[in-house]
Each structure stands twice: as C-alpha cells, then as structure tokens.
Amino acid sequence: MFLAFISTQLAFLEPNDEAGVFLEFPLDTRKVLAREVVGVFINKGLKPALLTSPNHVRCVMELAGQTFSLPIAGDTVDIISSATELYRRWLLEDKPPPIKNDANQSFFRDIFNHFSQLFRPQAGEEKETAGQGQGEADTLLAHHTSLCSTVLDIYCRVARDVNLTQESWEHLLKVLLGVTDSLLNMPKGDDHLSKNLCPLLLRTLFEVWLRSETQGNMWQNLRDLIWHWRHRMPTIQTWNDVCSALTDRVLRILYGKSFGTERVNLFDTTELNLREEHVLYSWYRFLHLLGDLETIPLPENYLEALRGIGSLANMFLAVGEKRQAGTGTVSGGIPEGMSRPMIALSKDGGLAGRASVTFRERTQRRGATTTQPSPRGFEDDDKEKEKEGSSSSSDKLDLGRNDGGIGKLKAPDGNTILHILGPFLFDAINIYMAGYEKGKSKALEVMCSIFLRRSTTDFDDTYLAYFYRGIAQAVSNAHPLYISTLLLSTPDFFKIRFKGANILIPTFITAIKQVLAVSTPFEDHAHQQHGSNFPQKAVLRKSAIKHLGNIICYASHYVRVPFQKKLDKKNDLKSYAELNFQLSDLLLSGIQHENDPHNLQALLWTTSIFAHETVSEQKQFFAEFLRVVLRKVLLTSNNSDQVSSTVLQVLTDAAGLFEYIFSETSASVPHPASPRQGMSEKSHEVTLVTASRNASMDATVVTSLCKFFELLTNTGCAPAAPSDELIILCLKCIESWVMKGKWIFENPGCLKLVLGVLDKCRVEVKGFHSPSDKIKEAASAFLLLMLNQHGQFPPPIGPSNISALPSETELLTYKKDPSKYVACYMFDKTLLTLIRHPRTEGDTSVTLVVRDLTGRYIWNGVMNYFPSEVVIPAAITSPEPTQDRLAAQPAPAEIDYAPSLVKFLEDPSLKQHNQLLQLCKKRIQDEAGYLRKTNFGHCNNQAKPPERPAIDEDLDSTPFRLFLSHTGMLALGNRPMFHLLQADSSKNFNYVSAFNNIDQARERETLKVGVLYVPAGQSSYSDILENEAASPAFYHFLAKLGWAVDLHTHNGYMGGLEPGINGDVVPYYADVSTELVFHVPALMPTSKEKGQPHKAKALILDKVIISWVENYEEYDFTKLEIKNAQVNIIICPMPDTDLYTIRIINNSRKAKDLGPLLDGVVVSKYVLPTQVRQTAIHAARFCAEEGRAVMARRYLIEDFARRYKSEIPTSKFYSSFFPAKK
C-alpha cells in the first residue's frame, strides 16, 4: 500500500497485489477494524513483543496501513493519529521482534509506503480558500496538514536516528520524491494542501537526501522532478537555504577554520555531520539542481534564485577580503606551487578536475529569443551515467590541496568564483526578457560585485567579454532598473583598469545621460514601475556623478584615440575628443537640473576638475561653466549655505586659471583654438549681471559676487542674517579675483562695487544686516591686502616674504648706540619706527619701518631741493679805481675869477680862514690814512648766504620732525591718533624686544601638510618613515606640488622644520594670502634611531596628510601614528597610465565640504598636483583652529599699544621734537 502516484506516474515502486486487501472493505468496517486494532496497542498498552512472527506484524500492518487512506473527517482524525503514533514507535522506539530482527528492513519500507497514502489531497479542502470561513473545510485542511507534518517529522527522525541500509535509503528517497512531486507538480489553484506543506515537505526531502549520502541516478531523478516544482517560491527558497548551508561547510573544508562552519547547518535548526567528500559532491549537485535558471517560469521565482546565487557569491567573496600583505598569495588567490581547483562531475557522479569552463550556443529561451552565444554551466554527464551505470568509486578530488591537509587553499580569486557561479550569471546578464527585470538586475549586481571585489584578479578574457557585453545590453535595453543597478554596482569600475574596459565609456555615458540629463522623468517612471525596489533619486544621481568623476580625465588624456568598436548603438562616439563635448553638456545640464544639495556640491567639484583638465583645449567650456554656476546656482535664492559655500570655493579656485579665461562673455562664438568648431553643440545662453556690455569674465564674476553679497545681506531679500562663514567666503572669493591682474583698476565701476561691499561689511548701512566683528575684520583684512599687495606681489625678494627682511637692529649695526638714532610712534593701528641718518654730508634722510596688519615695510627717505647742486657767485664787484679816491683833486680848468680872488685875499680875516683850512686838511689826511689802514671799515659787511648751525649728532631730532611734519602726521588734527611710544618716562623705549612678538607673527595664513610615500609591501608607520627614495612619478608630483626652497636660506614659513635635521630642501607654495609647507619624510635624512623621531616630530601636528600609496589594499590610515591627522588625501597610481585614483578619509567634524577632489575621482598627472594642493589647502583651513593671520597681528598690535602707548600733553609731545642738552 502506497500512494498510487509513485507507481503510476513515476514508476519508482512496483505495486504489491497481495497487500491492501482491507482497502476494498466498507468504509465503516475499515474504521472499526483500524480503531480497535490500533487502539489495543496505543490505548490499552498491548506490548509489541506479542507479535512474534513476521506474519503477525504483516497482519497488524495491513489493518493499520489502510488507515492512512481513510478520508479526513472528524471521526477518522484520531484513528489516523493513533496509527501514526503506532508506526512511530515501531520505527524509533519499541519495535516488535520481527521488525527489530529484520536485517533487510522490509517492514521499514512498508511503513514508509503506508505513510505516503496520507499525502493524497482530498475533496472539500479547496473550500478553505473559497471564503467559507472557519467551518468544516478549514478544520479538515488543518487536520490533514497537521497529520502530514507529523509523518514528515517521523521521516526526518528516521533519517537522523535509524541506521538504514542503502536499499532502505533509496526506498525512502523514492517515497519522499513521489509524495513531493504528487503535491508540488500540481498547478496553482487546486493545491491547498500543497501550499501548506510545501516548505516543510522540501525541507524534509532535502535533509533526508543529504543524510542518505546517495549518488548516481537518484540525483538525476531529483533534478528531473524539481524542474516541475520551480513555479513554487518555497522550492527556490529552500534550494537557496541548502546551497548556502553546503557552501558554508565547503568554505571551511577548502579555506580553513577562519571561514564557514564545522557542520552543515541546515535551515538554522539542523546540523548535519557529513563526510567532506560527500559535502563537496552534494554541494555541486545541489548548485546545479534547478538546471537552467533562465527557464524558471515566474519572474519572482527567478529573482529569488538569483538572490541565492548572489548570496553564494558574497560568501566566496568574503573569504580573504581583509588579507594583509605578505600572505604568500600569488595572482589569482591560489598558493604558490598549487594548481587552480576545478570541480566538476565525473561520469560516475563523483567529482573530477576539469581543465576549463566552456561556452555553448543557446538560441532559444523560454520567453526570449537570442542568436548570441552565452556561457553555459558545468554539464552533468547523466546520459553516460545511464549507459554505464552508477559506480561507488569516483575520481579523486583535485581541490588544489597540498599535503598539509584541510584549509590550505588561499582565497578564491575572481576566475575561481566565476568558474563556479558564472554559468548562471552570464546567462542572466546576456539574455534579457520582459517582466524579468528585477532578476536580471540582481544578476547584474552580483556579477559587478564579483568583478569589483576581486579587482586584482587577472580575469579570463572570455569572462571579461561576456561581462562587457552584458553591461552593454543592459544599457541598450534602457530599462530604468538596469541603468540604476549598473551605476550603483560599479562605483569604481574605471579605476580598476580591467583589460579593455574603456570600450564601455560610451555605454556608461549613455547610462549617465538617462539619469542626469533630464530633471525627473527617468526616476519618476522607475518609481511608478518598481516602487521601493528602485533606489532614491538622490542616491542614483550621486552614483552617476561619481561615475563622471571616474571618466572626466579620459577625454583629454586619450584625446586622439578612436573608439574602434561600439557596444552601445545609441551613442555614436567616435573618439575621446568627441567625448569632451558630451561630458561638457552632461555636466552643465546636470548642474542645472540637480536639486539635492549634496549631489549638487559633488557635481560642482566634478565639473571644476573637468574644467581644469580641459582648460587648454576647451577654454570656452570654462566660461560656460562659470556662467551656469553664477546664474543657476549662485544667484538663486533657495540654495542652502552648503551649496553656496561650495560655489564660492569653486569660483575661488577658478581664479587660479585667470590667464585661460575668456575676456568676452559671449557664449555663442567659439574660441579660435577650440575643437568645438564645425561641430554641433548645445548653446547655453544665459543672462548675467555684468558690469558693461563688453565686460570681461573676471568683471562678470566679481560683479555677480557683489550682487550675491547684496542678496545675502539685504534685509528685504534675506530676513534672517546670513552666517559669518558664508559672508567671509564670499569676501575671500572676491579677493581672489580682484588680486589677479590689474583689470580691476581698468574697470572703475567694478572697483566701486567691491569697495561698496567692503563698506557694508565695516559699518552699518540702512537696509542691510549689521556686520559682525568677524565680518568687519575680514573686510578690513581684504582692504589692507588690496592696498598693500595689489600690483606688488610677489616682491623683488620672491613670494616667500611680503614683509621687508631686516629689522631695526640689522639696519643700525654700524651705530655705537643705536637707540639714539631711533624714534617709535603709533599712528592709529600702524607702528612707525624712524631711523635718522647722520647729516654730516648735508643731506637730511630717514629710514621708515612701518608695521601694520599686513606686514613690515621699509622706506628710505631723503629730503631734496632739486636740483641737488646750486652755484652761487662769490660777490658783486665793480671796476678798480685809477687813482686814490681820497687824493687831492686836479685843478679845475682856468676860469676868470681873479677880481674876486684879489678882493678875497685882501680881506683881513683871511688869516683865520687859512688856519681853519689847514686843520681841515689835516683831519682829512688822518681819516684817509686810517681808512686805508683798516680797509675802509671796522668789519666785513659783504652780503652772503646763511649757514646752518652746528649739529649735535646725539640730540639731532630734526629729521624725525621734518619727515613727520611734511607727511602731515604732526598736524594738530592727527594728534588724537598719533602717539609716542616709550616704556616709561624714566628710560628709553626698548624697540628690539617690544617688536619681537609682532615680527614673529606671520603676515599671511600659514599651513602645513604632511606628504607620505607608501610603496607596495609597506603598512607600518615606521617602515614608511624610513623611506629615503621614491618613484620618479612621486618626485614629479612633488616638483609640481610646490617649488623647492633651501631650508638654510629660506626666509618664509618653515612649518617647524629644522635645517639639516629635516633635510635641506622642502616643497613650498605661497600666494598673496597663503603660505604652505609640505613635510615630506622621504626628503629627510634617515637616522639610525628606531621610529625616525625627527621625521615623526615634523608630522605629529599635521592635520592633513597626503599619502602616495602604491597599493591601496595594504594601506591602513589608522595605523599612522599621527594623532592630530584628521584628513587623509590618498593618491593611488593606476598601473601603466598617467592617471590617479583619489581616496579621501575625512574624520574632521569641520571639513565636511572638501574639494575640488572628491573620494573616488580619477585625475590625470597634469592636474593632480594643483588639485591635490587646493584640496589640502581647503582641508587645512577647515581643520585650523587659529584665525586669519591679519587678525592675529591686529591683536598683537592692539596689545602692544595698550602696553607702550604714552599718553602725554600736546605741549610735551611737540617739545619732544626739540630736545635740549641736560
């Protein structure tokens, strides 16, 4: 007696005409017979030992066995339950002697047969699902299910606890196969009992099957029958569970105790302790049990099967993923000296080594037709087995195991995993069928995972070809689920450098276009079709942007290389040169349509890198990029502070390419040197805030930035005050553009706007938010920088210093008492030191040392009255006289005066007159003689120029007074701001020590960054520090990262390095507002001390580390003993190219928006140094705890003024310029 289906449909068992005689009895009679006979043993305690002969047992079994064919009803449930319990006892506990002594176990087989009758569906059970509630139908199906479950449990316990013969094992398997096929082969709709029993039935079958350790034809029977059960989800799920449990055990066998399990843990409730050989055999047979997965009839079942394959792939991939360097593994993950394990079935059903995986042509699929070849699986040689019969002796396993025994294999490489699972996956990704999108997407995801997680494998060319074709077909299918799966599953695809992978660049560009080039239709359609199975829009677009970051460098790197074969018929790219144009439009379109703030930030940085990569070939794109950024992002009021911050940083970096930017704003006229000429292109017509119709791009950017500032600070546009950080970034961005070239002075309108912005940042203006102290300081620093450094940077001494080098002490080295020649003053917040020079040569000259917020400056001044030499005549002279001016005059001409004379002489008084005349002559002669003797006077009264008084060199303050008076500083109106500096009234001011702290404060922002060289095979920090040599590419990178300075003669920022101890040369970079020193241990001398303390000391305070890592898999940032390091920029050279993958480890809470380099981006060697430097500068600024250098100097100067400023009356102040001897 057994289920007729087993015989009639499967021909597994031969019917026994001598059994089942009671089946013909009336139903009531059968019930009575069964109740009474079974009840004697179960209820009345009759001992089985009374059944002493086989005939006794057969008689009772005839009565009890027919019970399982009784219809399920209220009065038969107890009878069937009692018969089930009787058989359970006879199988597992208290056996009658004939059964106990039956070496052939024929009674066991009969009991197995009798149980099978219970699994026949019965009439009325279908009403349970027809809406008839909790009535009789519900009760009948529940009872039937419970009775069958009890029998299945007995089958499991027999397999677990009873030592069955080979014949009994095979008989039990045939019964279970028959029962299972009779239920699961039924079409859906009439299979209510099947639905209830399916999971338990399959679990019982597979557990018993594994415990039996059967081989040969029974496996073929199982494979033939399970084909018809695949329309049931529990079949696929149970198959997944068994494959997973067996794989876990296989991993332990092949790869040691660190992986897998010691036993086969089936369904999380059962442990099977199987022989290793049988585990491997069963694992392979179960893996291929479902046959061709492409023929699974239902999409949801197909998806579940592929999920199971994915789970197995993950288990293999997890082996050895965290291996450390030096494990002795050769390429492919196989131990040195060992062959690759190839597992396949031998002709007798065992395992045997197979040389390689072959491929076959499949032209017809269920639900789809294709003429392209696809990879096939390992084929069972079942037909040959049927001819030759099963053999117990199988070929020896060739698992690559050496004499060491278990677990000596190394981690499986990608080829090994594809040998095992590739047949399922390659078919799935190369044959696309309508309705099966989810399963196909899962297969694509698993395949991508294998290739990317085993990226070091030298994959077989055939595998690569089928993988590439699968990707191309997925994209050409254009289904949103395929596109999203591809982009999300291959984040590092082009960084790994698979052989020939660049042929897929047009394919990926097509996929990215469908995500980025439109606003929402792609994602909306996908969500309508697939709901929660489709990723969020932001996640998908983020993945597309990351792919762009991996591709953007290729266009200019391989500009002249054509695409010879096209896998993507939708993309007509012919060369990398054309790729530039597609990337340009794609990036600009993405910026305009992106709504997610984080994605927009990433897209902006990615586009910035692309602009730098292609600026020499596509200057026009740079201008277009700036316009799109300004119009679509910067001048849009609904952007977040994070996005605005990124935009400002991008524009700040763009100022560095000032010389490449177009001078005209027109976007419709191609640049003469642009490769876009003669090609169709999408025009990006925009309207910007411009200073004038023909304004240059720099003026356009600055004008727009000023407009952006007004939008942020205007109370009408922004009711809430903006953050200080955003305003300061805006000022920094304007500063970077203003300080490039002299264009700002040629554009008075733009200059006026900039000064207006600074004015609003320094004082309160009606209608604008009040500036904070930080904003005021930043604006003051900007104004001072523009006033002091525009047109002057770099100074003649080079960019290392913007301050004059000598101090007052160095300028006065030739003086015996320098303090007598120095006077120190403070004018507002500017410190003035005047050094007078001796006036022995007649010149009045001074040296002025100025200290303000931006630095120290020295002026030499000489007072001049041009021309410098004036010739003055000695005196005004007259001709010399011919005779003595005082001698007697000659007689006059004869005149007729005789009568008068006679009359005079006859006068009696003549004598008196003569006496008087003689006295007069005598007086005249005496006076004339005296005048001749004294040169006609008592002194020299000749007119001549005045002469300066004598100079007292120790007290000479005239140069000070003249210089300050002539410059207007001594005017009474300036007196409140002008002060004399002195320590106190009792002693002179010690300018040397007083200015020391101010001079030590840096005028510019100072940053330091560590640069490590990590060759392959090194992982410890001490080994890295001991490197004294590096690759040529690393030295080329250092040469472009900054310029070399000699530590012995360098006058700029040194970052704490000591000449000699830390080497002689260091990379250094400086611009008008920043100084940057790179600490490079590879350039420092290596000492004999362990751990290289002098190198470690140089790096210990660095918060940003640049690591040149030859093998990223071996690198561990956490092992670097740099406690303060928060950001690690990792450069990974891509073999045989001039391309580099960038990885960024960011542990800083402040540096959340790092750029321009993003984690995972690929750049060329031409932009690598500049982009790494800019990213390091941004990171160092974020991580820095100090404020701006100008502000630090301001605090020092203000503190200095409080300590040394002398408050004295005005009269005393002015009298100090007229010192007198004490």
For residue 983, pLDDT over 90 is answered with no
Sign (positive/negative) of CA torsion 458, 463, 464, 465?
positive
Contact 834, 959 (CB under 8 A): yes
Contact 91, 140 (CB under 8 A): no
**pLDDT for residue 594:** 85
Running DSSP on this structure, what letter comes out for residue 339?
P
Contact 667, 616 (CB under 8 A): no
**pLDDT for residue 520:** 47
Amino acid present at 382: D
Cis peptide before 506 (omega within 30 of 0): no
The neighbouring-strand residues paired with 369 are 364
Backbone angles phi, psi at 1173, to 5 degrees: -60, -45
**pLDDT for residue 190:** 63
**pLDDT for residue 892:** 57
Q: Which helix (H) or strand (E) holds 529?
A: helix 521-530
Confidence at 1098, pLDDT banded by 50, 70, 90: confident
The tens digit of pLDDT for each residue in 792-801 reads: 888 888 888 8
Question: Token pair for residue 1184?
Answer: 């820095």
Mean pLDDT (whole number) for 691-703 = 68
Confidence at 1104, pLDDT banded by 50, 70, 90: very high
The tens digit of pLDDT for each residue in 997-1043 reads: 888 888 888 999 999 999 988 878 888 888 888 899 999 999 999 99
1189, HSE (Cβ side, Cα atoms, 13 Å): 22
For residue 970, pLDDT over 90 is answered with no
Which of 499-513, 1073-1087, 1207-1221 is least confident?
A: 1207-1221
- How far is it, in rounded angstroms, from Cα 644 to Cα 638? 10
How far from the centroid of its chain's Cα atoms is residue 129's Cα? 56
Any alpha helices (H) in 934-1031, and if so which ranges?
958-966, 991-1000, 1021-1025
- How far is it, in rounded angstroms, from Cα 193 to Cα 405? 48
Q: Tell me the pLDDT of the chain averaged across its residues.
A: 79
Nearest to 23 by CA among 10, 34, 39, 36: 34
For residue 486, pLDDT over 50 is answered with yes
The tens digit of pLDDT for each residue in 209-222 reads: 999 999 889 999 99
Confidence at 137, pLDDT banded by 50, 70, 90: low
Confidence at 562, pLDDT banded by 50, 70, 90: confident
**pLDDT for residue 364:** 35
For residue 1187, pLDDT over 80 is answered with no
Mean pLDDT (whole number) for 117-128 = 74
Contact 121, 194 (CB under 8 A): yes
- How far is it, in rounded angstroms, from Cα 77 to Cα 70? 9
Nearest to 1155 by CA among 654, 410, 689: 654
Confidence at 285, pLDDT banded by 50, 70, 90: very high
Running DSSP on this structure, what letter comes out for residue 232?
S
How many residues does the structure list for the chain?
1222
Share of the chain above pLDDT 90, in %: 30
For residue 181, pLDDT over 90 is answered with yes
Question: Residue 1030, SS3?
Answer: coil
- How far is it, in rounded angstroms, from Cα 296 to Cα 303? 10
Confidence at 904, pLDDT banded by 50, 70, 90: low
- How far is it, in rounded angstroms, from Cα 457 to Cα 321? 13
For residue 481, pLDDT over 60 is answered with yes
**pLDDT for residue 889:** 58
The neighbouring-strand residues paired with 861 are 846
Sorted by sequence, the CB contacts under 8 Å of residue 1142 that are 6+ apart come out as 1129, 1130, 1131, 1132, 1157, 1158, 1159, 1160, 1161, 1162, 1163, 1172
Contact 1097, 1071 (CB under 8 A): no
The tens digit of pLDDT for each residue in 582-591 reads: 888 899 988 8
For residue 356, pLDDT over 50 is answered with no
- How far is it, in rounded angstroms, from Cα 122 to Cα 156? 25
**pLDDT for residue 1190:** 67
Question: Residue 329, SS3?
Answer: strand
CA angle 352-353-354, nearest 5°? 115
Mean pLDDT (whole number) for 758-776 = 88
Enter the pTM of the model.
0.77
The tens digit of pLDDT for each residue in 461-471 reads: 999 999 999 99
CA angle 72-77-81, nearest 5°? 125
- How far is it, in rounded angstroms, from Cα 1145 to Cα 1129? 7
**pLDDT for residue 632:** 73
**pLDDT for residue 868:** 56
**pLDDT for residue 343:** 33
Annotate 1090-1102 with b (16+ C-beta within 10 A) or e (fewer): eebebbbebbbeb
Contact 825, 989 (CB under 8 A): no
**pLDDT for residue 110:** 92
Backbone angles phi, psi at 1141, to 5 degrees: -90, 135
The tens digit of pLDDT for each residue in 11-40 reads: 888 888 777 778 888 888 888 888 888 888
**pLDDT for residue 406:** 43
Running DSSP on this structure, what letter comes out for residue 1145?
E
**Range picked from 239-253, 861-875, 978-992 for highest mean pLDDT:** 239-253
**pLDDT for residue 1175:** 93
Nearest to 53 by CA among 61, 44, 43: 61
DSSP class per residue in 127-142: GGGTT-TTSHHHHHHH
- How far is it, in rounded angstroms, from Cα 647 to Cα 414? 42
Which of 25-29, 543-547, 564-568, 1100-1104 is least confident?
A: 564-568
Confidence at 332, pLDDT banded by 50, 70, 90: very low
Nearest to 620 by CA among 582, 584, 589, 575: 584
Which of 9-23, 396-410, 832-846, 1167-1181 is least confident?
A: 396-410
The tens digit of pLDDT for each residue in 421-461 reads: 999 999 999 988 889 999 999 999 999 999 999 988 999 99
Contact 565, 582 (CB under 8 A): no
- How far is it, in rounded angstroms, from Cα 1169 to Cα 1179? 15
Confidence at 961, pLDDT banded by 50, 70, 90: confident
Cis peptide before 597 (omega within 30 of 0): no
The tens digit of pLDDT for each residue in 602-635 reads: 999 999 999 888 887 777 888 888 888 888 767 6
Contact 1141, 1065 (CB under 8 A): no
- Is 985 exposed, middle or buried, given 0-12, 13-18 or 19+ CB atoms closer than 10 A? exposed
Confidence at 180, pLDDT banded by 50, 70, 90: very high
For residue 665, pLDDT over 70 is answered with no
The tens digit of pLDDT for each residue in 504-530 reads: 988 999 899 888 876 544 555 455 444
Contact 1036, 1045 (CB under 8 A): no
Sorted by sequence, the CB contacts under 8 Å of residue 578 that are 6+ apart come out as 679
For residue 676, pLDDT over 80 is answered with no
Confidence at 328, pLDDT banded by 50, 70, 90: very low
**pLDDT for residue 253:** 92
For residue 896, pLDDT over 70 is answered with no
Contact 175, 113 (CB under 8 A): yes
**pLDDT for residue 335:** 32
Residue that has been written with the tokens 């790729």 in this structure: 579
How far is residue 646 from each of residues 9, 308, 1173, measured CA to CA in Å? Answer: 73, 43, 17
Which value, to the nearest 10 degrees, does the dihedral of the CA atoms of residues 129, 131, 136, 141 take?
A: 10
For residue 59, pLDDT over 50 is answered with yes
Helix, strand, coil percentages for the chain (3-state, nearest 5): 50, 10, 40
Mean pLDDT (whole number) for 1128-1156 = 86
Diameter of the chain measured on Cα atoms: 223
